[in-house]
Structure 1
Amino acid sequence: MSTFVDPRHRSCGCDRAAQAGQPRTTTTDRIPMRPHKPVALLCASAAVAIGATVLIPSAAFAHGFVGDDSGNPTHTLTARAALKANGDMGGAQWEPQSLEAPKGFPASGPADGHLASAGHEQWSALDEQREDRWQKNVVEQGDVTVDWTFTAPHMTSQWRYFMTKEGWDPNDALDRDDLELIETVSHDGSAASNNPSHEITIPSDREGYHVIYAVWDVADTANAFYNVIDVDVQPADGETPEPGEDTEAPGLVPDAAVRAVSSTEAEITWGAGSDDRGVARYQVVQLGSTQDEFRVLEEHAATARSTRLTGLQPGALYSFGVRAVDAAGNIGVAHSILTVRMPEHLHDMGTTESTVALMWTAGDDTAGVRYEVFRDGERVGETGATNFVDVGLRAGSRHEYTVRAVNLDGIASAASNTHVATTKGDAGSEYPSWDAHGAYTKGDRVTHQGRTYEAVQSHQGHGDPNWITALSLWRPLG
């Protein structure tokens, strides 16, 4: 007689106690369940180990969820799938205990957009993400209790609790980038009790609607259990805002960017911010090493979309940000936008009749930075190195060069120093190329941009590129 194995639970260990002759805890022992079709279950590993040929039917194959048996929030948190006030959730409202998927979150586990359902299509209703869709557990900043109801006390390695970051979008699909780890509760790999209780801490910078993502890592299988918990975080002082009071901070300001105008100036631009009651103004800030370290540089009206910062230190690296403020004084979060250090000491390593070999010192050592080379104000090349050869030039021609650095985000530095280089005179010419800094005696002959000139009087050049066309100094011969 062949053995049927439910493919959804190949890695589970919940029937091992029964197979070993120990009392077996079932879902019906713990929680009154609404009737549903029995599903035969046998863990594949156990079937191989004992050579079982007969399956013991079970009314359920659930294992655990955050909350108590009532399915309503009381003194503890209750998961989205177990909160009866959420109404229709498809099959999930009858099966909150089985949100099981491969462990290793966030590197593996359920896919983004399917974190609440743990990737189970039959429970995909849990993945709906709107600010007004789910009932919230009202909690205060600080310590809060998380009680689990386990219907199968698996061998356990740890529990971890993630929470949405300040400024997350509650109307967008829930994904990894929305979450950060706030608590880890380790376990020794033994079977956990049927009702573990943990104390976790809600960060003081969280307020309003947030999601806690509880992950229970099983020790002796490749799986974990995932629970989404919707919470309404109140201030730590326990005071509930007055009805109608504006307590929601604006969201992230989109499209914030910085552009170097010169070595001492930068232009900051941004898009329109969003707030439930409207943005009142914007703050341009200089950020430190953390979000808590900042200095407000300027404030601008709600209609403003750009500003120019002056008095910057040449070659310095700055981190700026733009954040929105509403009429109630609630302040949004500013993402860092970095300036890029400009290249320095641009010079040439030699010229020929048709080339100029340029070299400079890297201003920014960030990985992936590239350099754009400009000749006479026009971009003529790009390189990842700190040198460049400009080719195809005319003999005896004079050119002005600058270089700027561009990082992976497309943010450009200010331009480097300007370097003037002149290619050598015509090949085979008996006269040297004109040097704007050179000393000349009446009757000297030079070449410049393909023409020959004779000095009208003796003089010392001082770098003025126009002297070669001054008839009082030079006479063109052809």
Structure 2
Amino acid sequence: MTLRLPNQAWMKKLVAVGLMTILMGVIMVIFADKVSAHGYVESPASRAYLCKEGQNSDCGNIIYEPQSLEAPKGWPNAGPADGQIASAGGLFPKLDEQSSTRWAKVNITPGTTTFQWRLTAAHATASWKYYITKDGWNPNAPLSRASFDLTPFCSIDYGGVRPPANYASTCNVPAKTGYHVILAVWEVADTANAFYNVIDVNFVGGGGNPDPGLQAPTGLTSTARTNSSISLAWNASSGAARYEVYRGGSLVGTSTSTSYTDSGLTAGTSYTYTVVAVNSAGSKSAASAPLTVSTTGSSTTYPAWSATTTYWGGDRVTYNGLNYEARWWTLGETPGSAYVWMQIP
């Protein structure tokens, strides 16, 4: 009887398969705590989100994954180190560059403000907390704990519940003047991590609260969409002379009617809008509830994702109107919910 051994080619294949299996196992262990949750503040637009939208420049790789600003929770006692707060620990160091002119700013008024999160992978949540820089902070020094009032101006206990993909916190922002930074912290309930987003804001409107006698617009909806425009409509507010329309917290236009069309947008991209009523004396209402809506089409066309196709690192697909790039080998893992997929423009 002759014993037949596998030839050399087959031995190489067996070794390669074995090594691939081990490698995938290691990768799954390393990223086991990363697939739990991801998200970013869309309105008022965070520093990272404005990088993604192109309003901030020279941002580094955060433009591809603004949802990935993750670090240990427990801030201010734990979490990212001083000087690395904006980057959530230094993985995206460009975000930590700090000066009074480095970043685009979102106009904001004190009082009731809605913070709109876009969660690309939601998870059981412990809390949402919001901090703001102190009066007299130094905007030309790296962000540190000394920059902030360490008591949150807004803290929401979420009790371990899984939030919706578009989650909104309604908070009372304290009165400030000029440039400040808001730190928004999303604490996950059953991992050791949290997500840290800084928002560069410019206080306008004289430092007063919204006029309580002027009703915030209601019923904000989209009436039409194209590859480059979104049409909006809302219910009239009694006493309003005009309306201001905000995209991602930044003023994009005004209207004397209850409709507005925002043009020059990017195909296949989500935008978040709010509307503020203004009376003839210039007093403003609180903002409407936010509306997130996407333009049609896609800025770049990639093949549609398939659950039965094997993808390798660098492969790109389209899923639910968004584009994704595979970080490594994947099969059957859904873009937008699995860490192996990175959202790209």
How far apart, CA to CA, are the structure 2 residues paired with 1:202 and 1:232? 12
Report the equivalent of 2:138. Answer: 169
Report the equivalent of 1:202. Answer: 173
Q: Is the 8 A contact 1:142 1:236 kept in 2?
A: no
Shift of residue 7 of structure 1? 7.0
Match of 1:81 among 48, 54, 58: 48
How far apart, CA to CA, are the structure 1 residues paired with 2:79 and 2:130? 14
How far apart, CA to CA, are the structure 1 residues paired with 2:131 and 2:108? 16
Distance 1:215 1:8, change over 3 A: farther
Match of 1:65 among 36, 40, 57: 40
Number of positions where the alignment pairs a residue of Structure 1 with one of Structure 2: 182
1:166-245 matched pairs, under 5 angstroms: 166-180=135-149, 181-204=152-175, 206-234=176-204, 235-237=206-208
1:288-327 matched pairs, under 5 angstroms: none
Which has the larger Rg?
Answer: 1
1:412-427 matched pairs, under 5 angstroms: none
Q: Deviations over 1:21-74 (max 9, x none)?
A: xxxxxxxxxxxxxxxxxxxxxxxxxxxxxxxxxxxxxxxxx710000xxxxxxx
Shift of residue 12 of structure 1? 3.4
Could you state the TM-score of these two structures normalised by the residue count of structure 2? 0.50
Computed over aligned residues only, the root mean square deviation of the Cα atoms, in angstroms, reads 1.9
Q: Is the 8 A contact 2:132 2:180 kept in 1?
A: yes
Shift of residue 154 of structure 1? 0.8
How far apart, CA to CA, are the structure 2 residues paired with 1:10 and 1:169? 39
- SS for the counterpart of 2:156 is strand
Name which structure has the greater RCO, CA cutoff 8 Å, separation 6+. 2
Q: Deviations over 1:336-365 (max 9, x none)?
A: xxxxxxxxxxxxxxxxxxxxxxxxxxxxxx
Report the equivalent of 2:119. Answer: 150
Report the equivalent of 1:263. Answer: none
Distance 1:7 1:77, change over 3 A: farther
Could you state the TM-score of these two structures normalised by the residue count of structure 1? 0.37
Structure 1 or 2: more helix by fraction: 2
1:105-116 matched pairs, under 5 angstroms: 105-116=75-86
Shift of residue 159 of structure 1? 0.5
- SS for the counterpart of 1:110 is coil
How far apart, CA to CA, are the structure 2 residues paired with 1:93 and 1:189? 30
Q: Is the 8 A contact 2:111 2:209 kept in 1?
A: no
Shift of residue 6 of structure 1? 5.8
Q: Is the 8 A contact 1:163 1:182 kept in 2?
A: yes
- SS for the counterpart of 1:165 is coil
State the AA in 1 paired with 2:38.
H
Report the equivalent of 1:371. Answer: none
How far apart, CA to CA, are the structure 2 residues paired with 1:125 and 1:79? 14
Q: Is the 8 A contact 2:125 2:159 kept in 1?
A: yes
- SS for the counterpart of 2:127 is strand
State the AA in 2 paired with 1:154.
H
Give unmatched runs, 5+ long, in structure 1: 15-61, 68-75, 240-478
How far apart, CA to CA, are the structure 1 residues paired with 2:31 and 2:74? 17
Match of 1:9 among 28, 31, 41: 31
State the AA in 2 paired with 1:231.
V
Percent of residue pairs identical? 43
